[in-house]
Amino acid sequence: MGINEIHNFAKYQVEGPDSRDWLNYVMAGRIPRLGCVALNPMLSPNGKLIGDFTVSCLAPDSFFLVASFNAQAYHTRWFIKQFPKSGIGLKNLSYERLGFQIAGPESRNLLEKIVTKDVSNSAFPFMTVDTFDIGNLKAQIQRLSYTGDLGYEIYVDQKDQVALFEVLTEAGADMSLRPFGMRAMMSLRLEKSFGAWMKEYRPDYMPGEVGLDRFVDYEKGEFIGKSAALKEKEVRPERQLCTFIVDANDADVHGDEPIWVDDNVVGFTTSGGFSHNMEQSLALGFLPIPLVSENREVEIEILGDRRKALVRKGPLFDCQGVRMRA
C-alpha cells in the first residue's frame, strides 16, 4: 500500500445557483449528482480536448474540480471567458486544499482506522465523495484512483496537511504503508492504459481518438464543442490510442517515437516507461484503426533503433477494473 502527495493537481471551487448549468455548458460530460464524482472532458468549440477534469458535487450548488496543475493558468482564463454576468463563483484552491492519496488493496482498511463513518463498498462506493472527521481534522475524501487499484484522495486545508500525514503514517505503520512518487504513479497508470494531460490528452486530439468519448454526454443540452463531438461520433476517428508491450533494450519510450509497420511509419507514441509491476516496457500511442488488433506486432523506433512491440487493446492490469471498484 502506498501514499502519495496530491499537491501537484489544480483544484477549483465552483459554486452558486447557476453552477450546475454553467458546468453543463463548459464540460462535455455528465455533471454528477450530490455526493458523486464524474470524469469530464472539456472541449474547445472545434471539439478538441482542452481539459480533463474530475468533477465532484459537494452540495446542490457547490462543485470541486481537479485537473492538471500545469494547465491552471489557461484553464482559469477559459473559465473566466465563459462566465455569465452572475450566478456562479470560481475560486482556485490549488494552494489551499492539499492532501494525499492512498492506494492499494489495504487502503480501505487504513481508512477504517482513522474515520468513524462506514467506508464499506456499499456505503462509500467507487466515484463518490464525502466529508469525514479524521481526529480533529475535516477531510474531503474522494474514492477514485489513478494507480488502477483501490484508492482514495484525501483533501484538507493546507495548514492541516502535515497533521494528516502523521495520522496516515501512524495508522499505516503496521500495514506496510510506503510513500511513492509521481514517477511510480506514471508507471502504474501505463499498466491501466490511463492517459495523462499533454501526453495522451491535449488540444491536438478529439475525444474519440483517445477513448474519452465514453465520458461525453452526447444527449444533454448544448455544451461547448458539442456539434464537433457529434460529427466525430458519426464519422468515427481514423486512429485509436493503444497500449504497447515493447521489447526495449536500454531505453524506454518517452513520447513522439515513430511506429513502424512493414517499413512504413503508421503512427507515433504519446508516452511510455517501465512497468515495475509487470516487469515490461510499456507505451501508449496512435495507430490507424485498420491496424488495431490484439497482439499485432509493430516496431517502435527508440533512439534510432526499431524495437518489436505488441499491440494491446486494453489495460494489462486488472482490465475489468474490479480492484478499483471492490
The pLDDT tens digits of the residues spanning 291-302 come to 999 999 999 999
Mean pLDDT (whole number) for 13-25: 97
* Percent of the chain at pLDDT exceeding 90: 96
Note whether 155 and 140 are within 8 A (CB): yes
Q: At residue 61, what is the residue type?
A: D
Q: Which residues pair with 267 in a beta bridge?
A: 259
* Predicted confidence band of residue 62 (pLDDT cuts 50, 70, 90): very high
Span 127-152, pLDDT tens digits: 999 999 999 999 999 999 999 999 99
Residue 269 to residue 287: CA distance in whole angstroms: 9
With residue 68 as reference, give the H or E element that holds it: strand 62-68
Predicted local confidence at residue 85, as pLDDT: 86
Span 207-260, pLDDT tens digits: 999 999 999 999 999 999 999 999 999 999 999 999 999 999 999 999 999 999
Class for the domain spanning 2-92: alpha beta
Q: Is 228 exposed, middle or buried (CB count within 10 Å of its CB: 0-12, 13-18, 19+)?
A: middle
Asked if CATH classification 2.20.25.90 holds for the domain at 238-326, the reply, yes or no, is no
Residue 300 to residue 24: CA distance in whole angstroms: 40
Predicted local confidence at residue 7, as pLDDT: 85
Outline where the chain has alpha helix (H): 19-26, 72-81, 107-114, 161-171, 182-191, 226-235, 322-325
What grid cell was written down for 60?
A: 446542490
Q: Looking at the predicted structure, is the pLDDT value of residue 308 above 90?
A: yes
DSSP 25-48: HH-SSPPPPTTBEEEEEEE-TTS-
Note whether 227 and 56 are within 8 A (CB): no
Report the 10 Å Cβ neighbour count for 291: 16
Span 77-133, pLDDT tens digits: 999 999 998 899 999 999 999 999 999 999 999 999 999 999 999 999 999 999 999
**Termini Cα distance of the chain:** 15
Mean pLDDT (whole number) for 308-319: 94
Residue with cell 501514499: 3
Predicted local confidence at residue 165, as pLDDT: 97
Q: At residue 211, what is the residue type?
A: G
Domain boundaries defined on the chain? 2-92, 97-171, 238-326
For the question of whether the overall pTM of this predicted structure is more than 0.75, the answer is yes
What long-range pairs does 125-133 form, CB within 8 A, spacing at least 24?
Answer: 125/325, 126/324, 126/325, 127/32, 127/36, 127/37, 127/38, 128/35, 128/36, 128/37, 129/35, 129/36, 129/37, 129/56, 129/57, 129/58, 129/64, 130/35, 131/58
Residue 262 to residue 90: CA distance in whole angstroms: 52
What grid cell was written down for 270?
A: 504519446
Predicted local confidence at residue 8, as pLDDT: 84
* Predicted confidence band of residue 28 (pLDDT cuts 50, 70, 90): very high
Residue 144 to residue 38: CA distance in whole angstroms: 10
Average pLDDT of the chain?
Answer: 96
Note whether 287 and 266 are within 8 A (CB): yes
Residue 75 to residue 71: CA distance in whole angstroms: 6
Predicted local confidence at residue 42, as pLDDT: 98
The CATH number, out of the four listed (3.30.1360.120, 3.40.50.2300, 3.50.50.60, 3.10.620.30), of the domain defined by the range 97-171: 3.30.1360.120
Note whether 312 and 298 are within 8 A (CB): no
**234-264 burial: b if 16+ Cβ within 10 Å, else e:** eeebebbbbbbbbebeeebbebebbbbeeee
Q: Read off the DSSP letter of residue 261.
A: E
